[in-house]
């Protein structure tokens, strides 16, 4: 059985979606893996409670306590590698990782970001989308590279922006899509149907088709 480690810093709803997929009996939504640990950069966040309630090992590697970015990443890397993961998923992990850390996990480190990248990287992506006046918004799962929110795109899900949308209403609709998209991407990666090859994503045709989710 493949092993997944989830990194988070807060709410943990994407972890919850992965846990639901791990336990799903329907093949279409099931992921062929065990989530073996949830590691948080902050103590006492809801995501850790979600993991603990599901019987998943939890750990805190506190970013505040680290002397430098390098020291934090070294501690984080050691904590992750104790669980020998096949895949590491950043699900609301609010730290920028060093190049050495990213290189160590090349091809098995992915992030979910709440925008249709390459539009609106960084913080407040829903506010950015509303300010730009885009008519379609969404979320992206991508390999992590040295550039923030800049790695090769694995999958995307899109929703129309409504005239009545506020940052909150838009965020809520995109979050629902995140919970659909992330398990699909994780499953394709774990099955080896999607992989990183020389900085580009290579996917089997059938898997590739499933990596674009459109909601109306």
Peptide bond into 101 cis (omega under 30): no
Residue whose pair of structure tokens reads 């709803």 in the numeric block: 13
Rg of the chain, C-alpha, whole Å: 16
Q: How far is the CB of 109 from ligand GRF (least distance, A)?
A: 14
Which 49-108 positions form the footprint of ligand GRF (CB under 6 A)?
A: 91-92
Peptide bond into 118 cis (omega under 30): yes
Check if the beta carbon of residue 78 is closer than 8 Å to that of residue 59: no
**Does residue 113 interact with ligand GRF by CB under 6 A?**
yes
**What residues pair up with 214 in beta bridges, in sequence order?**
158
**Does residue 156 interact with ligand GRF by CB under 6 A?**
no
- The single residue of 83, 113, 137, 142 carrying the catalytic annotation is 113
Q: Which two tokens stand for residue 76?
A: 């984080």
Catalytic residue flag (residue 113): yes
Q: Which of 22, 73, 165, 178 binds ligand GRF (CB under 6 A)?
A: 178
**Does residue 47 interact with ligand GRF by CB under 6 A?**
yes
> Which residues would be at the binding site for ligand GRF (CB under 6 A)?
8, 10-14, 47, 91-92, 112-114, 139, 175, 178
> Which of the residues are catalytic?
113
């Amino acid at each position: 059985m493949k092993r997944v480690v989830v990194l988070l810093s807060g709410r943990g709803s994407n972890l919850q979606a992965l846990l639901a997929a791990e336990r799903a009996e329907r093949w279409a939504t099931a992921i062929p893996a065990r989530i073996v640990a949830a590691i948080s950069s902050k103590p006492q966040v809801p995501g850790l409670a979600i993991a603990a309630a599901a019987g998943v090992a939890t750990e805190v590697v506190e970013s505040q306590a680290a002397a430098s970015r390098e020291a934090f990443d070294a501690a984080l890397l050691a904590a992750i590698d104790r669980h020998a993961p096949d895949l590491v998923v950043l699900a609301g992990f609010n730290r920028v990782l060093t190049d050495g850390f990213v290189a160590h996990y090349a091809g098995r480190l992915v992030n979910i970001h709440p925008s249709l990248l390459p539009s609106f990287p960084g913080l407040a992506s829903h506010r950015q989308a509303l300010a730009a006046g885009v008519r379609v918004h969404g979320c992206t799962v991508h390999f992590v590279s040295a550039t923030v929110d800049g790695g090769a795109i694995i999958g995307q899900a899109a929703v129309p922006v409504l005239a009545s949308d506020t940052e909150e209403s838009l965020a809520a609709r995109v979050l629902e899509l995140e919970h659909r998209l992330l398990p699909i991407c994780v499953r394709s990666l774990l099955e080896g149907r999607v992989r990183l090859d020389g900085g580009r994503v290579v996917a089997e045709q059938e898997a590739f088709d499933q990596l674009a989710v459109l909601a109306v």
